[in-house]
Each structure stands twice: as C-alpha cells, then as structure tokens.
C-alpha cells in the first residue's frame, strides 16, 4: 500500500499544481478581459499567474506558445489524408523492407519512402478520389468498371512538383480493392497537355480502371468511346494509363 501511495503522491501534486494554476489564470484572465473592453486594439494577453507577488509565465502558457509554434511550422500527424494512409499501409504490408516517412510540413511531398538502410529515397505526391462508378447511368460502365475517379489539377503545381512520383489512389466502392496509378509528374504533364491542350492551367482527369486491369483517362470522351473503354476496344496512346496501374516496380527500381 505504501508503494501505491508513494507512486500516487507525485501525480496528486502535479494535479493540484495544474488546478490552482488554472484557477489563478481564470481569475486573472477575467480581470484582463474587463480591462481589454476599453482597449480592444491591443493584442490578447498570454495566460499568466502570480506566485508570491511576482508575475511568471505558467507552464500552460509555455505549452500554449509551443503549440502555436508547432502548428505554424509542423503538420500534426492526425491530419494525414485517406490517400496517404492507404499508400503507406499498402507499402508497409507489401514491401516490409521499405520505410515510410511523413514530412513535418507541406512542401509538395506527401510521403518519403526509403530502402532498408535508409540510403535511397523516393518522394511521393498522393492524390485520392472516391469511386464515382456507382453514379454512372450506363449499366455497361457500372458492370465493367472496377472504379472511376475524378481529380482536378493545377498544371503549374505539376510543373513545379518536387515529388519523384505522383500516386493516384482509387478505391472501389463495390469491390474490396484499391487501384494505384503511379507515374512521374513529367509524364503526367506531358499526357495532360496532349489530351487537354497545352494552354490550360487547370485540368480535370477522369481515370477509369476496368475489371480487366486497364486504365484510361476518359475526360472529354463521348459516351460511345466510354463504352468502348468498358469493352476493352478503345485505343488512344496518350489516354492509356495501363502501364502505370499498380506500377510499384518503378519505385522498387529506384530503391534497389
């Protein structure tokens, strides 16, 4: 029992310190708020409390300042997007020798993948889309497509991308399967300009993955051509993304 009490005393002391600090902070903040009603132009005061007649910054105020610094320069881990999570989970499950890293701030790279010894690295930009296939009016498309995604791109961001590869994540609404379209941003930009024109600064892409494991950009195609995609009869070199469907071998080749 004495051991339990001795273990509990530091925790109780810390709790009491936080309680009284918070009480004093609340009391002082209320008086500060009354003073600020006539001086609204002044910046808000940070939480403080008095000890033996002296004014000191509390531990809460220090954490508050640290939190402002962290949110300004670092991205919290809990804001990871669904696509980034799915890519990271797939890599760790399929390639257990690789390591997946998250950047501390947004620099145009969502994930960093390294080899076993962390000597070689590949940077990834991840783009996620829900499956729009259930919304198709055509029964043929609904029955033949595995998933249909929709992305809107700023061409300038592709041109300035610092990532080695862009990864489009497309989970199937019906099937328990996720498609990954992986290609370098230079090739992505070349194809978009060939398909949608070189003068456009914003491009929408409709990547369609068929159940026969073929991938196409169907943006701007008439319904007849989209039916040909579903039937595996469509041909267009620039719109054919099949070579990049689940093409993890590209990253494997970079990491060795």
Is the pLDDT assigned to residue 167 strictly greater than 60?
Answer: yes
Helix (H, G, I), strand (E, B) or coil at 254: helix
Domain ranges of the chain: 2-73, 80-255
Q: Are the C-beta atoms of residues 242 and 183 closer than 8 Å to each other? A: no
Write down the mean pLDDT value for the chain. 80
Determine the Cα–Cα distance for residues 192 and 194; give it in Å rounded to an integer: 5
Residue with tokens 């890293």: 101
Determine the Cα–Cα distance for residues 48 and 26; give it in Å rounded to an integer: 9
C-alpha distance from residue 153 to each of 12, 96, 111, 192, 232 (Å): 55, 32, 19, 10, 27
State pLDDT tens for residues 198-213. 888 999 999 999 999 9
Residue with tokens 């829900």: 130
The dihedral region occupied by 170, where left means phi > 0, alpha psi between -120 and 50, and beta the remainder, is beta
C-alpha torsion angle, residues 183, 189, 194, 199 (rounded to 10)? 160
- Of all residues in the chain, the percent with pLDDT exceeding 90 is 62
Determine the Cα–Cα distance for residues 216 and 47; give it in Å rounded to an integer: 57
- Neighbouring-strand partners of residue 151: 205
State pLDDT tens for residues 178-187. 999 999 999 9
State pLDDT tens for residues 38-70. 444 444 444 443 434 444 444 444 434 444 444
- What is the bridge-based pairing of β-strands 215-217 and 207-210? antiparallel
Reference 100, options 79, 122, 119; nearest CA is 122
State pLDDT tens for residues 107-135. 889 999 999 999 999 999 999 999 999 99
State pLDDT tens for residues 210-253. 999 999 999 999 999 999 999 999 999 999 999 999 999 999 99
């Amino acid at each position: 029992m004495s051991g339990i009490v001795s273990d509990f005393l530091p925790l109780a002391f810390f709790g009491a310190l936080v309680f009284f600090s918070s009480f004093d902070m609340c009391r002082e903040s209320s008086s500060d708020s009354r003073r600020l009603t006539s001086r609204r132009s002044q910046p808000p005061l940070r939480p403080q409390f008095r000890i033996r007649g002296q004014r000191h910054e509390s531990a809460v105020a220090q954490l508050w300042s640290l939190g402002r610094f962290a949110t300004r320069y670092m991205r919290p881990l809990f804001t990871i997007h669904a696509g980034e999570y799915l890519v990271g989970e797939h890599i760790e499950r399929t390639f257990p020798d690789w390591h997946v890293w998250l950047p501390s701030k947004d620099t145009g790279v969502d994930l960093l993948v390294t080899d076993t010894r962390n000597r070689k690295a590949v940077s990834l930009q991840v783009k996620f889309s829900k499956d729009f296939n259930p919304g198709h009016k055509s029964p043929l498309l609904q029955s033949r497509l595995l998933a249909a995604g929709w992305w809107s791109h700023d061409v300038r961001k592709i041109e300035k991308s610092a990532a080695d590869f862009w990864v489009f994540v497309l989970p199937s609404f019906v099937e328990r399967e996720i498609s990954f379209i992986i290609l370098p941003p230079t090739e992505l930009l070349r194809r978009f300009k060939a398909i949608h024109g070189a003068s456009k600064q914003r491009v929408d892409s409709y990547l369609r993955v068929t159940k026969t494991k073929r991938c196409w950009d169907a943006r701007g195609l008439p319904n007849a051509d989209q039916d040909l995609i579903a039937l595996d009869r469509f041909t267009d070199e620039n719109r054919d993304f099949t070579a990049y469907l689940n093409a993890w071998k590209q990253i494997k080749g970079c990491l060795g």
